[in-house]
Structure 1
């Protein structure tokens, strides 16, 4: 299947078509030059779309975000002779600041955007008390080390660190045990986001809900253990377990909601 046919079949929007076209170009580059080629950082939603294209096009690719459990990742397209991606295009930075200054992810992202740094050149932003670790592309690392002096009014000290030095904040989750009449998306979303099923159905129909990082507007879509459900303005949760059925015909579920 040629490039145009793949894009016509897979792309759901003009923006996604451009993304997938760039990925196909990277795959072709790796094959033609016989050297690895990588994309910029991709969001989970973008990674999901790219995975489908990889399957369809038969490409060899590895996602890497610099550490296990990373959310934003690059796709490294590999030539036939290469078994693993070493992550040579990724670098790791630490921004130190006074603990009294309670900076957040938004503060750092806003500062980077204000400096003209493209979002796709920066991976995960890991904020702790008094420090923030980042995974970035090699192309912007030296600029940030030399030029990034503050976030808002807070002074920063930026230096490079090794991947093993990254401080990854512990993910906070709330476990929700519940029973539902059906494993439909609207029923499970209502449980996970603590709202009525009618409200969940409206949210889904409006296009604000994603199932495994892809927009889903069908409330009757069946979900299963391992699925991740997100909603703009409400966060995300994972279906950790699907249990047995009660005497009243309701199915037990265990959800892990990220807080």
Structure 2
């Protein structure tokens, strides 16, 4: 490993190094006048790509997730002389519906599980918007036909899938279930254990196993302090956001408002 690579790695978690290598290769190829359209990136991956690209004056990037407020986005990385505004970002929209109105009880995890069950990689799928009538999700255009033909069931409910144009996207409003906590500290393990009603001992296991992310970055330190705005996800349990740290009680406990994604 050369000194330059070591310097880059120092800024990222060891489990991110493989992605850092890929992103560095995309940037290097763009410097050699080649272009790269990535799969869908989460906000942390997009940050890594941007950080590496900013080290070069000869390239630029366009991010697009199918609509203005998309969380997951594809990146088009190219030499700086290439105009990116009209590049095809390769994004399709798929609608999932059912004739018997049995989709109202399904959630994001049900749809994601069914998508993965037909052999689709998570990287090929963008944002998923769930409603009582079904869902819409964004997908890489190169796998859109496969998805449309093979996604026939979601959580034992038979479904119909239809390809739509992007202007037919109806992003569902994010639904947050708010709750107020009184915690001894703002430590990650303490807040996560309260949100998911698990003991501190049980929460330590997935955190130390690398199954917890803070702002899309893997976090293995249970003592990490959280702050307002932080997004926390725990594999298998979902995610929540720290909406507000409301203050400290007379007994020295923190009042924290949490929003769980539902």
User: Does the residue aligned with 1:33 lie in a helix, a strand or coil?
Assistant: coil
**What residue in structure 1 maps to residue 170 of structure 2?**
167
- Measured in 2, the distance between the counterparts of 1:32 and 1:234 equals 43
- Partners of 1:19 and 1:141 lie apart in 2 by 25
After superposition, what is the alpha-carbon deviation per residue over 1:68-103, rounded to whole angstroms, capped at 9, x for unaligned?
443432223244244757663212222443143436
Provide TM-score, normalisation by structure 1. Answer: 0.76
Mapping 1:37-186, distance limit 5 Å: 37-44=36-43, 46-47=45-46, 49-50=48-49, 53-54=52-53, 60-81=60-81, 82=83, 88-102=89-103, 105=108, 108-109=111-112, 112-113=115-116, 115-145=118-148, 147-148=149-150, 150-151=152-153, 154=158, 156-159=160-163, 161-186=164-189
Computed over aligned residues only, the root mean square deviation of the Cα atoms, in angstroms, reads 3.5
Q: Deviations over 1:122-168 (max 9, x none)?
A: 222334344432212222234445x3472367252423x23231122
Q: 1:99 & 1:138 partners in 2: Cα distance?
A: 29
Q: Distance in 2 between matches of 1:239 and 1:177?
A: 10
In the TM superposition, what are the counterparts of 1:208-223 in structure 2 within 5 Å? 208-223=211-226
Structure 2's unaligned 5+ residue stretches are none
TM-score by length of 2: 0.76
Query: Aligned pair count?
Result: 254
Asked whether 1:194 is paired with 2:193, we answer no
What is the 5 A alignment of 1:9-24?
9=10, 10=12, 12-13=14-15, 16-24=16-24
Separation of aligned partners in 2, 1:19 and 1:126? 27
CA shift, 1:253, in A, is 1.7
How much does 1:40 deviate?
A: 0.7
The secondary structure found in structure 2 opposite 1:124 is: strand
